């Protein structure tokens, strides 16, 4: 995936999260949970994209 596509996806996710936070009336707790879920989902997507999860599968505890 090209770097420009990754950058566009991150910008769109950030703008959508900002729009939800500013223009949709919700309880503060719900907004914080939504923010955490979106950030974790983006981090997991980036880790999968760069192949970090393939390395984590080989680690045994």
Compute the average pLDDT of residues 16-31.
93
- Residues 21 and 28: their CA atoms lie apart, in Å, by 9
CB atoms within 10 A of CB 14: 13
pTM, whole model, 2 decimals?
0.78
Are 45 and 39 in contact by the 8 Å Cβ rule? The answer is no
- Segments making up each domain of the chain, as ranges: 3-57
Which has the closest alpha carbon to 6: 34, 37, 47, 55?
47
- Binned at pLDDT 50, 70 and 90, residue 57 comes out as low
- Residues 35 and 14: their CA atoms lie apart, in Å, by 10
């Amino acid at each position: 995936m090209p770097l420009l596509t990754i950058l566009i996806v991150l910008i769109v996710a950030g703008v959508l999260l900002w729009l939800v936070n500013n223009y949709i009336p919700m309880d503060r707790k719900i907004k914080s949970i939504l923010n955490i879920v979106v950030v974790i989902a983006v981090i997991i997507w980036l880790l999968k994209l760069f192949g970090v999860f393939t390395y984590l599968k080989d680690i045994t505890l």
